Amino acid sequence: MENKPKLVISTGAGMSAESGINTFRDNGGLWENYDVMEVASAEGFARNPGLVHKFYNDRRKELVKAHPNLGHMGLVELEKYFDVYVITQNVDDLHERAGSKNVLHLHGELMKVRTINPPYKVYRLEEGNLETSPESTDSEGRHLRPHIVFFQEAVPEIENAIKLTEQADIFVVIGTSLAVYPAASLLHYVRPGVPIYYIDPHPAAVPSGVRVIKKGASEGVAQLIDELTRGKK
């Protein structure tokens, strides 16, 4: 059986924008309504855990009403032709719900909680039971927190993301300003000569040689599919 080329895709907030998931940094984004350091930082959680739990409870209620968009679906279609791995900054589960098989979440997962103290245990929340509070505990009485990488915390999956990026035969970035580190640094780990694509309606400056597709996720992924599978269908 022929080995498929490894296609590694790094996605940011713009990937889910068409699904109605609020981005944080755009005009009208969540950071205009909330102080990021109050609801998404380690210090904020220590200071006011109730506010942080409420913030993520509200995000979950939005997420269960959202659906994967054509961009998410397109990445699944690419699995016919490539060994696809998705590295996402997004905490939603839209890649998984679209059918992507290999998804690595850099910044945690909204639909999961974990114990505050090690050894950590992670639990998935079910629809109808999406709310947590500072009093929430697991069956062993250990207090729970959102399974989110807060600002001021390490990004535990970055080493795995770097390894995937180093193995890529094609590397694609979708829907990110390339301003959030360490995720933005992945570009530096792509092997010389490997094709790089960047899909974003408002692309940031990138090195020469990167193929920029100045479109949103759904239209951009459709064009990506066309370019990558030309002659394969």
122 and 111 in contact (C-beta within 8 Å)?
no
End-to-end Cα, the chain, rounded Å: 18
- Give Cα 116 to chain centroid, integer Å: 22
CA-nearest of 124, 100, 91, 108 to 16 is 91
56 and 62 in contact (C-beta within 8 Å)?
no
86 and 103 in contact (C-beta within 8 Å)?
yes
CA-nearest of 147, 89, 154, 103 to 121 is 147
Catalytic center residues: 107
- φ/ψ of 186, rounded to 5, equals -60, -35
